[in-house]
Amino acid sequence: AQSVTQLDSQVPVFEEAPVELRCNYSSSVSVYLFWYVQYPNQGLQLLLKYLSGSTLVKGINGFEAEFNKSQTSFHLRKPSVHISDTAEYFCAVSEGSNYQLIWGAGTKLIIKP
């Protein structure tokens, strides 16, 4: 069965420092991969998605992610974080023939001033 693992429940980082949020998935078929962000008291918002093509995907707010098929990973990165990036980040996967998203448990990004 499909599963998504976000290895860190919380990631503290200083403002203007780079950050990487890790996501690994298990699937034996082609997948589509997503990162969503949930700001405090708000709904989930799509950051970026990988469907096919270039393995480096750029999203909103300066985030990018790289699909690595051999390592079954889709890590999210930002070169310089801002206090406004404080949120919870969720990785999700959907199989090519499926309709639902399978989600990781989320990673809280904590920005230290």
Partner 1 sequence: DTGVSQDPRHKITKRGQNVTFRCDPISEHNRLYWYRQTLGQGPEFLTYFQNEAQLEKSRLLSDRFSAERPKGSFSTLEIQRTEQGDSAMYLCASTLPGSLKETQYFGPGTRLLVL
CA distance 91 to 107: 9
Does 57 sit near partner 1 (CB under 8 A)? no
Q: Please identify, using beta-carbon distances, which residue of 6 and 78 lies nearer to partner 1.
A: 6
CA distance 36 to 71: 21
**Shortest distance, CB of residue 55 to partner 1, whole angstroms?**
16
Count of alpha carbons within 13 angstroms of residue 63, beta-carbon side: 22
Is 29 a binding residue for partner 1 by CB under 8 A? The answer is no
> Which one of 11-19, 35-43, 53-61, 70-78 is the stretch in contact with partner 1 (CB under 8 A)?
35-43
Q: Give the DSSP H/E element, type plus range, for residue 91.
A: strand 87-95
Rg for the chain (alpha carbons), in Å? 13
Q: Nearest distance from residue 74's CB to partner 1, in Å?
A: 14
In the complex, which residues of this chain contact partner 1 (CB under 8 A)? Answer: 4, 9, 32, 34, 36, 41-46, 49, 51, 90, 92, 94, 96-106
